[in-house]
Structures are given as structure tokens and as C-alpha cells.
Amino acid sequence: MLAMNYRGPYRVRVDEKPMPQILHPEDAIVRVTRSCICGSDLHLYHGMVPDTRVGMTFGHEFCGIVEQVGPEVRNLKVGDHVLVPFNIACGKCHFCQQGLFGNCHEANAQATAVGGIFGYSHTAGGYDGGQAQYVRVPYADVGPMVIPDWMDPDDAVLLTDVVPTGYQAAEMGGIQPGDTVVVFGAGPVGLMAARSAWLFGAGRVIVIDHLDYRLEFARVFGPAEVYNFREIDDMAVFLKKQTDSLGADVCIDAVGGDAAGNALHYLFGTKLKLEAGSAIALHWAINSVKKGGIVSIVGVYGPTGNMVPIGNVVNKGITIRANQASVKRLLPRLIDHIKAGHINPKAMITHRVPLADIADAYHLFSAKLDGCIKPVLLPNGQ
């Protein structure tokens, strides 16, 4: 089969690889119909995540047809078209039992702090991912869900990660009716966070980025007030002026460790790797939220440490809430929202690319060329 093959920072290609095998009685093998590239993949692509091994296949946002099931799989059958949450979760452990499917304890040998994630380095379990024609899906009865007949597969594939992640970002914000919510980052995750903030009753939604084409999209898709941080002198002062000088009720970090906008963080985090990525968006979030406010983090950082103004978290009495999204927990609600027409995720898809062109797709998405918001790979044709 053909599969993405990581060769080192900024270098990916497609190669012939062996077919995945059933290795556990709860496994399934899925033939991939759609597979996205995610902002999270860019952290791997940029060489920021420790234990990213040459030869691995990335890809944690995919849907496909069940080709084969292990002897303990009960709910799925061969031929089902399923969407597969990015979290690998057992459904039985202490964490899964509480709906913390992003924090399963039975899916990642290499680390306890992260659950298992498809195609996301050995730090997230060492699973080959779905940017391939076929993929091994562990715990097939827990995560995967048959795509409803009426649902567009383009919406289904976005339900595997960015839609629930953006929604959970807003949910963790504890948004109260009328609250002012600031979302840092106008990528697919930030866009969904802005859209979801309204579902929780926000009174005002502000989106910050530096890419005008994405801000323009956010202005309509959110809909949101949008600002380009390159035109803002001091983020905390600016946002306080926007919010009766007290600060926002809720700030959401939908950027993570690849943040632009600060030379010091760029040097320490992105270049020298002395920090686990550049934490400038989180810094802005902490300093722009009001006292007693909530900072919700879904942006991804490495496992070491970051320079953030933790003293201000104490002094301002800020609550920080953060997690990998628990996709399975949120799916039923989000499917309702799609059915009711409250959200239209597929509008974010800008590029549809054959698997063979994966190197170009990664570069396009990473360098933000050609108005790229969300690229979808088609590993088995249309």
C-alpha cells in the first residue's frame, strides 16, 4: 500500500509500505477514504515533538471503510464507512470511564502524560497513522463511529478532530451568556472555537491572527470581530481597550507551540528548543483575560516547559483549563449541531490532494500558501 513516510524536519514523501496487520483482538483495518493534515502535524513536520522517528506515517484525522476486524470487535462490520476519532482509547480505564478519551491509560507505552494518538510520534504511542491507503485502528469498538447516511464525508472527517477540539476549547472556557471570548489563532481549530463560542452563549467573539486571508474567513465563518496582531502594538493593552479596560472573560489558545509574533519565543522555543515551542499566544491569553477569568488551552506544546507569566495566573486568579479533545464524548452533540445546520465544518476545506502529492500539501499548509485553511488527502482516489 502507499503511505506517507516522514524523512526528517520539512521532509515527507509517499512510499510503498507493508499492509497493516491485526495485532490485537480489538483491532480493525480501515481503508482510508479521506485524511486531513492538521496543525498538530505541523509540530511533527517542524521537528518539534521528541521521538518522531524517520519512517513513521503520520495522520490522525481520517475516515474510511472497515476492511477487516479482530475477533473481539462487536459493533463494527466489514464494509462500514466510519469516522475515527484521533484519540486511541480503551473505553475501560479510570480515565476513559470518566469520558476522558483523550487521556486513556491503555494506549501509549512511551508516555503516561499523553494518551494514544494515531500517527503522532512515539511520544503519543508510536502508531502509524491514516495518511495512507490502509491503517490499523486499535480499540475499534470504542472510538470509530459509522457515518450517518445523511452526512457528507467531508464533515465526517472534520469530526475526527478539529470540530470537537474547537468545541471543547469553548466548552472549557466555561462561557456564560454575554461573555466576551477572545480566540487566538484562525486555523481550523480556532475557527471552530469561535463558531462554538456562540453555541455556549457568548456575547462577543474576537479572533486574533496575522494571516489576513484567514481573518477574513473568520469574520464570516465565526462570525467574529477580527484583528491582525502585526498591526497591534501591545496585545494586553489592545484587548483591554476592547473590553471596557478589564480584559476578556475567556481567552482561548488555539495556536500552540508554532506561534509567531515574538522574537524571543521564536529563538528560544522554535529555533533553540530551550522551550517546548513558542508560547506567545498563551502569554497574551494570560495577560489579556480579566481577573478571575478563564484561559482555555487546546494549542499543543512539547513535553518540556515554556516561559509563561505564571505569576499573573496567581495574581489574577485565573483558571486554566486544557486538554487533548475527547472526541468520542462530544460526537453525539456535534452531529446534532451539523444536522440542525448550526455548524458547517466542510466550508473550511480549501484543498483536496491525492496522497502522491503529500509533500506539496504539507508545504502549502505549513507555509500558508494559496489561501490554505484545511487540506484533505484522498489516499484511495475520489
Ligand X SMILES: NC(=O)c1ccc[n+]([C@@H]2O[C@H](COP(=O)([O-])OP(=O)(O)OC[C@H]3O[C@@H](n4cnc5c(N)ncnc54)[C@H](O)[C@@H]3O)[C@@H](O)[C@H]2O)c1
- Of 211, 224, 308, 364, the residue at the interface with ligand X (CB under 6 A) is 211
Phi then psi dihedrals of residue 71, to 5 deg: -65, -20
Separation of first and last alpha carbons in the chain:
17
Read out DSSP for 255-284? Answer: --TB--S-HHHIIIIIIS-SSSSB-HHHHH
Interacting partner of 116 out of ligand X, another protein, Zn ion, none (Cβ under 5 to 8 A depending on kind): another protein
Residue 40 contacts ligand X per CB under 6 A: yes
Q: Are 164 and 134 in contact (CB under 8 A)?
A: no
Q: Are 102 and 326 in contact (CB under 8 A)?
A: yes
Residue 123 contacts ligand X per CB under 6 A: no
Residues 183-242 contacting another protein, CB under 8 A: none
Sign of the Cα torsion 138, 131, 14, 362 reads negative
- Of 41, 61, 80, 106, the residue at the interface with another protein (CB under 8 A) is 106
- Of 39, 247, 302, 379, the residue at the interface with another protein (CB under 8 A) is 302
Q: Which residues bind Zn ion (CB under 5 A)?
A: 38, 40, 61, 89-90, 93, 96, 104, 106, 161
How many CB atoms neighbour CB 164 within 10 A? 29
Residues 304-363 contacting another protein, CB under 8 A: 304-305, 319, 321, 323, 326, 359-363
Residue 247 to residue 252: CA distance in whole angstroms: 13
- From the list 69-77, 119-127, 158-166, 243-251, the region that binds ligand X by CB under 6 A is 158-166
Residue 248 contacts ligand X per CB under 6 A: no
**How buried is residue 335: exposed, middle or buried, by Cβ count under 10 Å (0-12/13-18/19+)?**
buried
Tell me whether residue 243 or residue 326 sits nearer to ligand X (CB atom). 326
Residue 51 contacts another protein per CB under 8 A: yes
Query: Identity (one letter) of the amino acid at 57?
Result: T
Residue 261 contacts ligand X per CB under 6 A: yes
Q: Which of 293, 292, 274, 59 is nearest to 160 (CA)?
A: 59
Interacting partner of 166 out of ligand X, another protein, Zn ion, none (Cβ under 5 to 8 A depending on kind): none
Contact residues toward ligand X (CB under 6 A) are 38-40, 42-43, 161-162, 165, 184-190, 208-211, 214, 229, 254-256, 259-261, 280-281, 298-300, 324-325
